[in-house]
Copies of this chain bind each other. A is one copy, B any other.
Amino acid sequence: MELLKQRILAEGCALNADVLLVDSFLNHQVDVVLMQAIGQAFAAVFAGRGATRVVTVESSGIAPAMATAFHLGLPLVVCKKQASRILAQDVWQAQVRSFTRGIQYELTLKRAFMPAGERVLLIDDFLASGEAALGVLNVLRQAQAELIGVGIVIEKAFQNGRNRLAEQGCTVHALARIAKMGPGEIVFAE
Residues on A facing B (Cβ under 8 Å):
23-24, 27-33, 35-36, 58-59, 62-63, 66-67, 69-70, 74-78, 80, 110, 112-113
A66-B63, A113-B24 known; A75-B36 Cβ under 8 A: no
Whether B30 and A78, one on each chain, are in contact in the complex, defined by CB atoms closer than 8 angstroms, is yes
- Please, which residues of chain B bring their CB within 8 A of the CB of A69? 30, 32
- Please, which residues of chain B bring their CB within 8 A of the CB of A58? 58-59
Given B29, B33, B112, which contacts A113 in the complex, CB threshold below 8 Å?
Answer: B29
CB A68 to nearest CB in B, in angstroms, measures: 9
Number of copies: 2
Bound together, the chains give a CA A110 to CA B110 distance in angstroms of: 33
- Please, which residues of chain B bring their CB within 8 A of the CB of A110? 23, 28-29
Bound together, the chains give a CA A110 to CA B69 distance in angstroms of: 29
- Please, which residues of chain B bring their CB within 8 A of the CB of A80? 28
- Please, which residues of chain B bring their CB within 8 A of the CB of A31? 75-76
Whether A75 and B113, one on each chain, are in contact in the complex, defined by CB atoms closer than 8 angstroms, is no
Whether B113 and A28, one on each chain, are in contact in the complex, defined by CB atoms closer than 8 angstroms, is yes
* Closest chain B residue to A103, Cβ basis: B83
- Please, which residues of chain B bring their CB within 8 A of the CB of A28? 77-78, 80, 110, 113
Bound together, the chains give a CA A33 to CA B76 distance in angstroms of: 10
CB A54 to nearest CB in B, in angstroms, measures: 8
Q: What are 14 of the A-B contact pairs (CB < 8 Å)? A: A28-B77, A28-B78, A28-B113, A29-B110, A29-B113, A30-B62, A30-B69, A30-B77, A31-B75, A32-B76, A58-B58, A58-B59, A62-B62, A62-B66
